[in-house]
Structure 1
Amino acid sequence: MTERIVVDPVTRIEGHLRIEADIKDGVIENAYSSGTGIRGLEQIVTGRDPRDVWAFVQRICGVCTTTHALASVRAVEDALDIQIPRNAQLIREIMNETQFVHDHVVHFYHLHALDWVDVVSALSADPAETSKIAQSISDWSKSSPGYFREVQQKVQKIVDSGQLGIFANGYWGHEAYKLPPEVNLLAVAHYLEALNWQKDIVKIHTILGGKNPHPHYLVGGMATPIDINGDNAINASQLMQISQLIDDAMEFVNKVYIPDLLAIGSFYKDWLHGGGIQNFMSFGDFSTGDVRDIDLYRMPRGIIIDGNLKQVLDVDPKDPKQIREYIDHSWYTYNGKDGGGKHPWDGETTLKYSGPQAPFKQLNTDEKYTWVKAPRWEEKPMEVGPLARIMVGYAKGQPEIVEIVDATLNKLDVPITALQSALGRTVARGLETALIVKWLRNDMDELISNIKNGDQVTFNSEKWEPNSWPKETKGVGWMEAPRGALGHWIRIENQKTSNYQAVVPTTWLASPKDHLGQIGPYEAALKGTPVANSSQPLEILRIIHSFDPCLACAVHLTDLENNQTTEIQVG
């Protein structure tokens, strides 16, 4: 007999996501992903000055703020053929790299770790044994038996109080948990440490971008004045503060995050579910020069089809034949029609809700069932994100990526195919964090060197005035966001934004069935996964969280004509 279970809302993510899964004989037979909330931004920027758009679309998400702003200014600069100064490029890279490091560490500890770590089990751990384990994998300073005993006592007080807070409603004691109590205690301790650490690294955004979240950007460069001897600009003291924050981040990543990741991963080497589709896409990013020169990307661009690492195809965000968004199973209409695909330059954000009225028990997945569209590359669903970037970089022979992947596979004693799983996706996120925090250090060193040599320029005023613009033009700002390939497409007519579309990582990942019946990465990753207890679907959470969903990014439109709102009921 087939049983349908519903997880709604999926927690420890950004936004509203509903997962329905049909389970037969303890295995997921089919799964369906539904973005259940709508919000408004793309239509809001129509008719506005393109130079101001970044400040609006940055509000697509409260987590991915700097990435949307950066993609937006890149789109306008592409449309107007503006080249920014090297210092501005470095500041942007530093801010994006900071976002990656912060986002990945927070995801591992605070959004995903509890899928693998049994918090309650930590209460029965021997702190002395935990200390031995900690010291065997890292020389991180906080590793004494007394320290872990204090953490254990802190957690015990929370449990005894009955106010579990962040630890409430977990599936503690689930048979899928495999860590011994001592490793669980280690992970819980670092969970709490990461809460303190993450609030410090974002100070880099505050210094260079004025605030966090929603730091400031500027078409043509950065609104970041530099005067090493002044008080009203970025000075020597602030540069040294940033440099120290980067050193602290490198230490935390290399001495806490990566050792924890490999230690926990070693207990789950045989849990290789959640691979899903084997198509991977990366737009590429982290340039060592002009951002438009893809040959200078440290994170390479490319497409892998059916897991074939011997061939990497090209992807061009400007090619209307390559990237199209389909709405056959999404609550939209294109020119009054319920199906079809469009390149983002010609895209629409016209709502047409035809789903069940709340409260409801089950989606009609034969029809339209989500607010998320279905983007495709040459009509193929694609996985984007850390695993896709690592796979593309490895297949293209990027030396740093090949080295760290091979070393990690040797440590875990698994083949590269093991990365094509929920656990592998999580490992890939950690590996690229280790790379990016090093690039963060390098880019900061180059910025300081430029400033010491007298280069303090952060803005190019050429083509800033609208009277120098062509009557009609269009551009695309592509980049790699923490969750994957991100693109913002803009059309400019008569000095105003005439159309704007953002296709974000979670749109690719959470997409529904398309016009060919092909399912998206979430749905494919869940299919075939065994579920030990359908009333406690820990396995579903493991797989979905491995993608780090951001539904706020994936659904960002509004009905301006009727000014309607949608009520979300959770039951």
Structure 2
Amino acid sequence: MSERIVVDPITRIEGHLRIEADIDEKGMIQDAYSSGTAIRGIELIVRDRDPRDVWAYVQRICGVCTTVHALASIRSVEDALQIQIPRNAHLIRDIMNEAIFVHDHVVHFYHLHALDWVDVVNALKADPNETSRIAQSISSWPKSSPGYFKDVQNKVKKIVDSGQLGIFANGYWGHKAYKLPAEVNLLAVAHYLEALDWQKEIVKIHTIFGGKNPHPHYVVGGMATPLDINSDNGVHAERLMHVSQIIDQAREFVNQVYIPDLLAIGSYYKDWTHGGGLNNYLCYGDFSTGSIYETEKYRFPRGIILDGNLQEVHDVDLKDPEQVQEFIDHSWYTYDGKEGGHGLHPWEGETSLNYTGPKAPFKTLNTEDKYSWLKSPRWKEKPMETGPLARMIVGYAAGKEEIVQIVDETLQKLDIPLTALQSALGRTIARGLESVLVSNWMRNDMDELFNNIKNGNQVTFDRTKWEPSTWPKQAQGVGWMEAPRGALGHWIEIENQKTKNYQAVVPTTWNASPRDHQNQIGAYEAALKGTPLLNKEQPLEILRIVHSFDPCLACAVHLTDLETKQSTEIRIG
């Protein structure tokens, strides 16, 4: 007989996620169910609006992933209207995206995921002298003296002694699944606190190029960024140098703090190979050294890996109605009044709410029926995983030299095979490797921008096709990109200069999707199956696996009542 356990809400994520898991008598997860438990419906709000304004609305899908939704939306409109933007605008957009990549990955590692591997309370048992020795052996980061680590230890002790753990509350401290020595735990806690200070600096790139953060400004046709090195009002030389300095500081933090910590912690968990999952990987590709439409110049190449076969990279066509489709057989929606059984390409997509779940209070969901506000995206009717691991796997299989080199070097340092990356630990490693690559690209893109300005090119916006009178009566476009959490697509249909239909299919919708019309499970559900729990009352292993995807449910389940303008509150659990 199996027993069902419920983890609701999953914390240290953006949004509301519920996991139900069936556990056998030996503590093994036999089956798992992922449920997004809140909705918003931004797609409904943007109907009949000027396509040039839609980015400002859909950016509010999430308070964390603001800039990526804006960029995907802008790209969808530019694709529909066949707008080519100036090179400087492309560089600025990429620098802003690269900044959010590095910011998100560092914040995820230290503040959202590290506590699944690091026992904070155990750090009180550490010898600060030994922590200092370890720190200096793996990095030249200056904050590594015994006194520094002793001060951090004293701060943690005061928190623990007070009985109010604050940001460290509700952890499974002392769990047998924790393997780090006390000294490494202290090292990680110290850098957790440092990363809190560091993360507020890198987002200043958005305030300089985009006016503010969160929700920086974009514009169809380029960037509303007035480059003028001699102006007091535009982005002048001093501000450009400030961006350059922030980029160098970010690269230093990634290489001297993040990566050494990742390898040090990973070396104690390299046999923790749970959480692999589907072995189907999806990457739209991004960070082109040419234009966004020159996919052959993508630093993250576009492609699909099926069943873990790295010998073949399948192509992706986001405009093909037979490739990307969303199914609703286990989701609280209807398609044209029907419950499911067929998928819709996003250009034909619908956002018709149909909650049929239980009324609170209840113990478990009816997972044989509909059980989530997430739809089930599929590529040629196959479930896919997207995100950092998918990008590294697709890039490795495609033979991208930078990716192959950094993956092989890391595998050698940890003494693990390539197959070990197909795990929760592998996703965590992939984020770190991406941070190295992307921070380097950010430096390269900033240097190119400097060079363009030096040569007299300060253009960031093209008014061509800005006026609606130049538009076709009907147009369709898709804006794709790689966001920190994975492949992001926004599809728009424009008619008579207004937005007729709009659909966003986001990374967490792919990964956290419920079962589909063929009862195929999504990436979260697949990754959890077969995982043993040491203590079902403290399911740390479930948190490790789910957090390794860095869930963003706010993005995945985007409601408003268009008749009454009132919000709807649905309580689950």
State whether TM-score is above 0.5. Answer: yes
The residue number in structure 2 matching 1:56 is 57
CA distance in structure 2 between the aligned counterparts of 1:50 and 1:218, rounded to whole angstroms:
11
Pair 1:542-2:544 in alignment: yes
Trace 1:505-516 onto structure 2 (pairs within 5 A): 505-516=507-518
Regions of 4+ moved over 3 Å: 561-571
CA distance in structure 2 between the aligned counterparts of 1:142 and 1:547, rounded to whole angstroms:
30
The residue number in structure 1 matching 2:268 is 267
Determine if contact 2:510/2:523 at 8 Å carries over to the other structure. Answer: yes
Pair 1:291-2:292 in alignment: yes
Change (3 A) 1:229 1:563: closer
- 1:405-452 residue CA offsets vs partner (Å, 9 max, x unmatched): 000000000110000000001001110110000000000010011011
Determine if contact 2:267/2:414 at 8 Å carries over to the other structure. Answer: yes
Q: 1:444 aligns with which of 443, 446, 461?
A: 446
1:559 is displaced (CA, Å) by: 3.8
Determine if contact 1:381/1:521 at 8 Å carries over to the other structure. Answer: yes
- 1:159-186 residue CA offsets vs partner (Å, 9 max, x unmatched): 1122211100100000000000000000
Provide the secondary structure at the position in 1 that maps to 2:319.
Answer: coil
1:562 is displaced (CA, Å) by: 6.1
Determine if contact 1:282/1:384 at 8 Å carries over to the other structure. Answer: yes
* One-letter amino acid matched to 1:380: K
1:401 is displaced (CA, Å) by: 0.1
The residue number in structure 2 matching 1:453 is 455
Change (3 A) 1:272 1:134: same
The 10-residue stretch of structure 1 (484-493 or 32-41) with the greater mean CA deviation from structure 2: 32-41
CA distance in structure 2 between the aligned counterparts of 1:140 and 1:565, rounded to whole angstroms:
49
- 1:265-306 residue CA offsets vs partner (Å, 9 max, x unmatched): 000011100001000000000011111110010000000000
Trace 1:216-365 onto structure 2 (pairs within 5 A): 216-339=217-340, 340-365=342-367
Cα RMSD, aligned residues only: 0.9
Q: 1:398 aligns with which of 390, 394, 400?
A: 400
CA distance in structure 1 between the aligned counterparts of 2:119 and 2:3, rounded to whole angstroms:
27
CA distance in structure 2 between the aligned counterparts of 1:559 and 1:277, rounded to whole angstroms:
36
The residue number in structure 2 matching 1:27 is 28
CA distance in structure 1 between the aligned counterparts of 2:238 and 2:57, rounded to whole angstroms:
32
Any gaps of 5 or more consecutive residues in structure 2?
none
CA distance in structure 2 between the aligned counterparts of 1:162 and 1:293, rounded to whole angstroms:
57
The residue number in structure 2 matching 1:181 is 182
CA distance in structure 1 between the aligned counterparts of 2:571 and 2:77, rounded to whole angstroms:
39
Identical positions, percent: 76
Pair 1:4-2:12 in alignment: no
Determine if contact 2:561/2:568 at 8 Å carries over to the other structure. Answer: no
Provide the secondary structure at the position in 1 that maps to 2:431.
Answer: helix
TM-score, normalised relative to structure 2: 0.99
1:40 is displaced (CA, Å) by: 2.9
The residue number in structure 1 matching 2:387 is 385
Provide the secondary structure at the position in 2 that maps to 1:42.
Answer: helix
The residue number in structure 2 matching 1:526 is 528
* One-letter amino acid matched to 2:307: D
* One-letter amino acid matched to 2:37: T
CA distance in structure 1 between the aligned counterparts of 2:465 and 2:280, rounded to whole angstroms:
40
- 1:45-102 residue CA offsets vs partner (Å, 9 max, x unmatched): 0000000000000000000000000000000000000000000000000000000000
Determine if contact 1:351/1:559 at 8 Å carries over to the other structure. Answer: no
- 1:214-242 residue CA offsets vs partner (Å, 9 max, x unmatched): 00000000000011011110000000000
CA distance in structure 2 between the aligned counterparts of 1:162 and 1:207, rounded to whole angstroms:
42
Determine if contact 2:318/2:324 at 8 Å carries over to the other structure. Answer: yes
Determine if contact 1:350/1:559 at 8 Å carries over to the other structure. Answer: no
TM-score, normalised relative to structure 1: 0.99
- 1:309-364 residue CA offsets vs partner (Å, 9 max, x unmatched): 00000011111000000000000000000002100000000000000011111000
CA distance in structure 2 between the aligned counterparts of 1:457 and 1:531, rounded to whole angstroms:
57
CA distance in structure 2 between the aligned counterparts of 1:305 and 1:102, rounded to whole angstroms:
30
CA distance in structure 2 between the aligned counterparts of 1:336 and 1:558, rounded to whole angstroms:
19
- 1:482-531 residue CA offsets vs partner (Å, 9 max, x unmatched): 00000000000000000000000000000000000100000000000000
The residue number in structure 1 matching 2:161 is 160
* One-letter amino acid matched to 2:270: K
- 1:345-385 residue CA offsets vs partner (Å, 9 max, x unmatched): 00000000000011111000000000000000000000000
1:568 is displaced (CA, Å) by: 4.2
Report the number of matched residues: 571
The residue number in structure 1 matching 2:475 is 473
* One-letter amino acid matched to 2:16: H
Pair 1:90-2:91 in alignment: yes
1:563 is displaced (CA, Å) by: 5.2
